[in-house]
């Protein structure tokens, strides 16, 4: 599968590296130009670079892994992605009164804004509920972590589910895209524990089921 990863920060690199290992053709687009050590990163891990719009238009799946504050112009600049599967990994984070919070939530979501920026794209919200360290390597964990997905297109969710499973997560369908209004605040629970409560970044949510 040809996967365009839009963004080359910690999350984008972790996902891209893992999907290259899984056999996918990964192309990094958009904000990669001039990114520190990008050439050496590609040499070590595989993958290619291309202008953002070219990468997105040629891909089977477009993965958005951008800082929220710079997302809108970059996403709108990808062009007409009508019918494309778009995985939104972003959380709409902002600083408010000196504290990290969400720009939107409960009445709308970052994922729904992404869908408005990309009319006709088949947007799936997922891979926003854990840190880059875990996304790139779930084998460090004592139990299989879960990752919720939300989207309005069943086939697009199936595609996203397969990519999430290849990372080692148990993908769980959370419902329509509007459920991103819950998944983005769930990411804040992870951030609170990881950064503010001292839990660190090497953990993820898991589902403990009752034994038979």
The DSSP bridge partners found for residue 93 are: 102
Kindly list the structural domains of the chain, giving each domain's residue range(s) and its CATH number in brackets, ordered by start: 2-196 (3.40.50.720)
Between CA 10 and CA 25 the distance in angstroms is: 19
What pLDDT sits at residue 35?
66
Between CA 12 and CA 77 the distance in angstroms is: 18
What pLDDT sits at residue 176?
98
Question: Residue 78 in contact with residue 52, Cβ under 8 Å?
Answer: yes
What pLDDT sits at residue 79?
95
Q: What is the pLDDT along the chain (212 residues), one digit of tens a residue?
A: 999 999 989 999 999 999 999 999 999 996 555 566 888 889 888 899 999 999 999 999 999 999 999 999 999 999 999 999 999 999 999 888 888 889 888 899 999 999 999 999 999 999 999 999 999 899 999 999 999 999 999 999 999 999 999 999 999 999 999 999 999 999 999 999 998 889 999 999 999 999 99
Between CA 27 and CA 127 the distance in angstroms is: 18
What pLDDT sits at residue 96?
85
């Amino acid at each position: 599968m040809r996967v365009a990863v839009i963004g080359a920060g910690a999350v984008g690199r972790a996902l891209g590296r893992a999907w290259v290992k899984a056999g996918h053709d990964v192309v990094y687009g958009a904000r990669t130009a001039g990114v520190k050590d990008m050439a050496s990163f590609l040499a070590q891990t595989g993958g290619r670079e291309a202008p953002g719009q070219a990468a997105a238009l040629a891909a089977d799946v477009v993965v958005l892994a951008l800082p929220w504050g710079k997302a809108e112009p970059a996403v709108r600049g990808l062009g007409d992605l009508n019918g494309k599967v778009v995985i939104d990994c972003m959380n709409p984070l902002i600083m408010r009164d000196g504290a990290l919070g969400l720009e939107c939530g409960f009445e709308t979501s970052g994922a729904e804004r992404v869908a408005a920026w990309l009319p006709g794209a088949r947007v799936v919200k997922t891979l926003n509920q854990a840190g880059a360290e875990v996304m790139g390597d779930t084998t460090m964990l004592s139990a299989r972590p879960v990752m919720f997905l939300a989207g309005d297109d069943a086939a697009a969710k199936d595609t996203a589910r397969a990519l999430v499973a290849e990372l080692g997560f148990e993908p769980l369908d959370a419902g329509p895209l509007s459920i991103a209004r819950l998944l983005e605040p769930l990411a804040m629970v992870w951030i609170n524990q990881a950064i503010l409560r001292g839990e660190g970044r090497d953990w993820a949510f898991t589902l403990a089921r009752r034994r038979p």
